[in-house]
Structure 1
C-alpha cells in the first residue's frame, strides 16, 4: 500500500493509492463506511494506529466509496510525514563515499581515505526535522552557497518505538519506505568538514529535507531492500543504483541507533546517497530553476525545482 499526505479543497488529509491515477481519502472513506476515522487524521495517526490502522485502510481500499475517490492530478502533495518526530541520515553506500572523496581531492588537492570506523558501524547525523517539504514544492537555494546538490536516498519510517533493538527484530519496527532528497550546499560542507562535528550549514537550511511522494508500507518490501534508484535533472539521467548496495542494512542501522537510546514511532532514517546519486559524484552542478526527479521503484518519483530567491 502507498500512502501520501495531500491537500485538496483547502484540507490536508491522508490518501491511499487506489489505482495509478486515483487516490482514496481514508478519513472520508472511513466516515462514509460508518467507521471511526480518527486513525486517519494524519500520517502520524496512521503510524500510531499500528497494524489495526493499516488493516482498516486495506479494507477501505478493497471496496472504496466513490465519493472519497479523487484524481491524483487534483491534489497538491505535501511530505507524506509533514513533521517527522526526528530525522537522521546515514552514510551507507561505499560507492558514494569513494566517488565523493575522489571529487573532493580534485577540488582541494588533498587525498581522503575511508576511515575504518565506517566499515565497523553505521555513521549518521541528525537532520533538521523542521525543514521538511514534499513532492512538487520548490526547494530554496541558500544565499551563502554557490554549489547546491541533491542526494538520492531511500528512507525508512519507524512504526514502533523501542530501545536496544536486536538486528534480527529491527524490521518489525519499520512502518514503511519513502524517498529522501537530502539537499546539500557542497561549498559550505567542504569548508566545514575539517571541523569534525558533522555537517552544519552544508545541510541545515530551510526546505533542505525533501520526502515523498509516497510511503510504501513495509509489507510491500522484502528485507534487505533491493530497489532500483535513479535521478534525472531536467529529464536527463544523471545517475542511480540499487539499495541492495548498502554496506550496513537498515536492520543493522536501526539496531545500532537504538543502542541505549529510544527510537520513536514517526522517526525518519535515511540510507545515505546511493552511488552516483548526487551531482558531485558525476562532476555536474545544478543551476537555479533545475528540476530534480528522484525515482525509486514501487515508491514513485519525487520531483522538485530548485529556486534561488532574488535579493531584497
Structure 2
C-alpha cells in the first residue's frame, strides 16, 4: 500500500491509501477505527492494522481527490530519525569538493578510498524529528547559511519494537519505505564538524527533513534489485543513481542500531545520500526560487521550492 497523511479542507488531518493512478485517496480515518487516527497508530497496530486497512481500502467508502487535499509527510513526527552514510561515491565526492565551502584542502583523496570505518560500521547521526515536512513544502534556508544543499536519500520506517536483532530478524522489523531529503546548511555543517561531534545546526533547522510523498509498505518495494534515484533542479537532471550501491543493507543497519538499544515502531532510518545526490558533489548549490524534484523508483516524487529568507541577496 501507498499510505499518506493529508489535511482536509476543514483543517483535520487524516491518513489514507492511494488508489491506482495516484490521483485518489481512500480515507482510512473516515472509517472511524482508532487505529487509523494517525500513521503512528497504524504502524503500532502491526499486521492486524494493515489487514484492516486493506479491508477499508477495498470498500473505498470515502474517497478524496489528491489535488483537493494537502499532503503532509506520511509520518509528520517520527519517533526518531537516524541517518546513515552508506554510499561510497557520495563520501568520496563530498570529501573532494568540501573546499568549495571551506576554501581548504579536499578532505579525502580518491586514491586512498573511503575511511575503513564506513565499511566496518553503518554509522549514523540523529536528526530532529520535529522538523519534518511533506513532499511539496518549501525548504527554507536558515539565516546563518549561504550554502543550502539537497541530499537525495530514501529510508525505512520501523514497524516493530525490539532489541539486539540479528540481521535476518531486522528485515522483519521494516514497515515500509519513503523518500528522504536530508537538507543541509553546508557552511554551518563544515564549521561545526571541526568539533568532531557530528552535525547540529548544519542539519537541524525547520523544513530540513523532507519525507514523502508517501510511505510504501515493504511488500511493494523491490529493494533487493536496486532502486533508481534521480534529482532535477529547475527541470535539469542533476542526479541519476541507484540504491544498489549501498555499502550496508537496511537489515544490517537496523541490526547494528538495535545493539543494546530498544528500537521503536515509527522510527525512521535514512540511507545516506546516493552517489552524485547533492549539489556539493557537483560544486554548485541551491538558489532562491529553485525548484527541486527528487524521485526514487516506486516511492514517488518530491517537489520543493527553495526559499532564502532574504531573497538570496
What TM-score do the two structures reach when normalised by structure 2? 0.93
Deviation at 1:241, TM superposition (A): 0.8
* 1:61 is the counterpart of 2:62: no
Counterpart position of 1:108: 104
Contact 1:140–1:206 (CA under 8 A) maintained in structure 2: yes
How far apart, CA to CA, are the structure 2 residues paired with 1:111 and 1:294? 27
Larger deviation, residues 134-143 vs 272-281: 134-143
Counterpart position of 2:24: 22
Contact 1:105–1:112 (CA under 8 A) maintained in structure 2: no
Unaligned runs of 5+ in 2: none
SS at match of 1:108: coil
* 1:82 is the counterpart of 2:97: no
Q: Across the two proteins, how many residue pairs are aligned to each other?
A: 303
Deviation at 1:181, TM superposition (A): 0.5
* 1:91 is the counterpart of 2:82: no
RMSD of the TM alignment (CA)?
A: 1.4
Contact 1:224–1:249 (CA under 8 A) maintained in structure 2: no
* 1:52 is the counterpart of 2:48: yes
Counterpart position of 2:204: 204
Deviation at 1:69, TM superposition (A): 0.7
Deviation at 1:111, TM superposition (A): 4.2
Counterpart position of 1:273: 273
How far apart, CA to CA, are the structure 2 residues paired with 1:198 and 1:159? 27
Deviation at 1:225, TM superposition (A): 6.1
Unaligned runs of 5+ in 1: 32-36
- What are the within-5 Å matches in structure 2 for residues 25-36 of structure 1? 25-28=27-30, 30-31=31-32
How far apart, CA to CA, are the structure 2 residues paired with 1:115 and 1:8? 48
How far apart, CA to CA, are the structure 2 residues paired with 1:42 and 1:225? 32
Counterpart position of 1:34: none
Over residues 233-290 of structure 1, what are the superposed CA-to-partner deviations in whole Å (9 max), with x where a residue is unaligned?
Answer: 1111111211111001001100000000010001000000000111111222110111
- What are the within-5 Å matches in structure 2 for residues 240-259 of structure 1? 240-259=240-259
Deviation at 1:63, TM superposition (A): 2.8
Over residues 74-129 of structure 1, what are the superposed CA-to-partner deviations in whole Å (9 max), with x where a residue is unaligned?
Answer: 11011110011011100000011011111125642244253211110011100011
